[in-house]
Structure 1
Amino acid sequence: MNKLENKVAVITGAAAGMGKAIAQLYAKEGAKVVLSDINESGIKQVAEEINAIGGMAIAVPGNIAIQHDVDALIDTAVNTYGTLDILVNNAGIMDNFVPAEEVTDELWERVMGVNLTGPMRTIRKSLPIFRTKVSGTIINIASVGGLQGSRAGAAYTASKHALIGLTKNVAFQYADQGVRCNAIAPGGVNTSIGDTIQSPNQFGLQKAISGAAFNPRSGEADEIATIALFLASTDASFVNGAVIVADGGWTAY
């Protein structure tokens, strides 16, 4: 039997990279997937590809930094498939490696809006559904930047540290209500998040890449998707509040 048979999963940032790989794997394992991204044509294409091979997928374009779009996303999932079982907060953006001395309010708020406030809002919207069912799984895609001090600029680093804190808070506080909340902290993965970097700050960039020589290799989106499948399945029934590092050993040095 498929690991996610008849489960309903919402996946943000699903037009490419890790989000797309997670959506495809979840669908292969029997889940009905609801895809979100600001890239409307991208998620529609992913949904079409999943449906073409016998899966079940719908695309809900939107920006998780906007409350209305979050409400529409979760409401559409429930209205279409009757419930929600799995929430994957994958959408994220970089911060041009801008250090604290030079970070602007606009950059800080934009990065926090997508990387932290968005996941908070999707979690907040999903928890009443999970609590009613006494069952639900949340997976936040964090980063080794949420464990280390300088894998990016100040805003991205702060957002991912905070996302890990949010993960642990939700995990403990709702554990007795059937909710599990875990995070994955990828290292360097070949995805399109680099497209969100424009004119990187050279001081911050040099600081961030100073440890790049210790990175054994870059990962692939499919390698993160298999971890997300494990966390969403009953195989991980006793895993809650965990941060699974997937970086090929980069942070082990």
Structure 2
Amino acid sequence: MDDFAKLAEYVGFTNALEVGAFVPTRHTDTYPFITPTGTELAGKSVIITGASKGIGRATASRLVKAGCSKIAIAARTGLDKVAEELKLEAQQLGLDPPTILPVQVDVTSDESVKAAAQTVEDAFGGKIDILINNAGYLPKLVRIGEADPSEWWKGFEVNLKGTFLCAHYFLPLLLRSDTKIVINLTSIGANLLTIGGASYQASRFTNCRITEFLARDYEEEGLIAISVHPGGVKTDMGDNLPEVMHFSLTDTADLPGDTIVWLTKERREWLNGRYVSSPWDMQELEGKKEEIVERDLFKFRMTV
């Protein structure tokens, strides 16, 4: 058995490689078609969780670059420094300074998320346009019988309960908007069967299904919900992956940041309830719009 075959046996790709190759071009960094110009999100209000570092921090920066007017940055840790950095970035870009609202929140706590929603409601005039559920947790990959139960369950606490609580408490604010977009960060791991990966990969799978349910539950109100795989970005969370999987961490954080801006700058009903991979070329993805809708692609279904 060659090295790739050994890796494939361990990772359990299922059809993840085919999903990744759905569009011909794969990006590892941002590119002109999705790079913000400063007007994409002008007048829009956003809250992003897990915004203190990594992909969340980079996405907040790209929201600034897109001209977003009101940005609530949420995390468990203090965010005052990040808020000042984001205001400075807007100034350096020659953009109108956005309102940056730091919100300290534990996405696994009912009371904490409820309080955060009230804070944002009071500060942003009673509504928000976009919710980005970015906060996530990757436990070390350990087989179920060998896992520490509390550590294993933490993957679901952050990735599933956190997504649910934020959706639950911010939905009233979203539904007062004309934009009404939810972005749930997921992972290609939702489509893998890696040995020891049950906590992370199953919880990321549920993120995709929650996205489908949001689209289904609120279709009459016009809510759009999209699951986004950020790509393989080397973050503190990614460091919990086994060394053998670090080869996949080749993408910049700006790639998912700009992909999210592109996905939220207009309402794309044809992607509602679906999974989108940041490394895909978005222009090529647009070219496959009819195929995606006709075949109802990028939702989880059993094959028979």
- TM-score by shorter chain over 0.5: yes
Distance change >3 Å, CA 58–CA 152, structure 1 → 2? farther
| 1:71-110 equivalent positions in 2, closer than 5 A | 71-82=114-125, 83-110=127-154
Q: Which amino acid counterpart does residue 149 of structure 1 have in structure 2?
A: L
Give yes or no for the alignment of 1:68 onto 2:105. Answer: no
Q: Which amino acid counterpart does residue 75 of structure 1 have in structure 2?
A: Q
| 1:10-159 equivalent positions in 2, closer than 5 A | 10-31=47-68, 32-40=70-78, 43-52=79-88, 53=91, 54-82=97-125, 83-133=127-177, 135-150=179-194, 153-159=197-203
Q: 1:205-241 CA deviation, whole Å, 9 max, x = no partner?
A: 48xx4x666x4x6101000011111121116354211
Task: Give distance in 1, aligned partners of 2:196 and 2:231.
Answer: 12
Partner of 2:41: 4
Partner of 2:15: none
Deviation, 1:100, is 1.5
Q: Which amino acid counterpart does residue 45 of structure 1 have in structure 2?
A: K
* Cα contact 1:12–1:89 (8 A) shared by 2: yes
Deviation, 1:129, is 2.5
Distance change >3 Å, CA 25–CA 237, structure 1 → 2? farther
Partner of 1:241: 273
| 1:226-237 equivalent positions in 2, closer than 5 A | 226-234=258-266, 236-237=268-269
Deviation, 1:3, is 1.4
SS of 1:98's equivalent in the other structure is coil
* Cα contact 1:17–1:221 (8 A) shared by 2: yes
Q: What's the % identity of the aligned pairs?
A: 27
Distance change >3 Å, CA 56–CA 192, structure 1 → 2? farther
Q: Provide the aligned C-alpha RMSD in A.
A: 2.3
Partner of 2:230: 186
Partner of 2:294: none
SS of 2:272's equivalent in the other structure is coil
SS of 2:43's equivalent in the other structure is coil
Task: Give distance in 2, aligned partners of 1:152 and 1:184.
Answer: 23
* Cα contact 2:134–2:184 (8 A) shared by 1: yes
Task: Give distance in 2, aligned partners of 1:151 and 1:125.
Answer: 35
Q: Which amino acid counterpart does residue 231 of structure 1 have in structure 2?
A: L
| 1:196-215 equivalent positions in 2, closer than 5 A | 197=240, 205=242, 209=244, 215=248
Distance change >3 Å, CA 129–CA 55, structure 1 → 2? closer
Structure 1: where are the runs of 5+ without partners?
A: none
Task: Give distance in 1, aligned partners of 2:119 and 2:151.
Answer: 30
Deviates more, 1:104-113 or 1:77-86: 104-113
Task: Give distance in 2, aligned partners of 1:151 and 1:247.
Answer: 25
* Cα contact 2:144–2:196 (8 A) shared by 1: no
Runs of 4+ with >6 A deviation? none
Which has the larger helix fraction?
1
Distance change >3 Å, CA 153–CA 75, structure 1 → 2? same
Q: Which has the larger radius of gyration?
A: 2
* Cα contact 2:130–2:174 (8 A) shared by 1: no
Deviation, 1:22, is 1.2
* Cα contact 2:224–2:267 (8 A) shared by 1: no
SS of 2:175's equivalent in the other structure is helix
Task: Give distance in 2, aligned partners of 1:157 and 1:122.
Answer: 20
Deviates more, 1:48-57 or 1:157-166: 48-57
Partner of 1:219: 251
Task: Give distance in 1, aligned partners of 2:279 and 2:192.
Answer: 12
Q: Which amino acid counterpart does residue 153 of structure 1 have in structure 2?
A: G
Q: Which amino acid counterpart does residue 206 of structure 2 have in structure 1?
A: A
Q: 1:124-180 CA deviation, whole Å, 9 max, x = no partner?
A: 112222334464110011011112112862211111011111111111221221210
Task: Give distance in 2, aligned partners of 1:126 and 1:27.
Answer: 21
TM-score (norm 1): 0.84
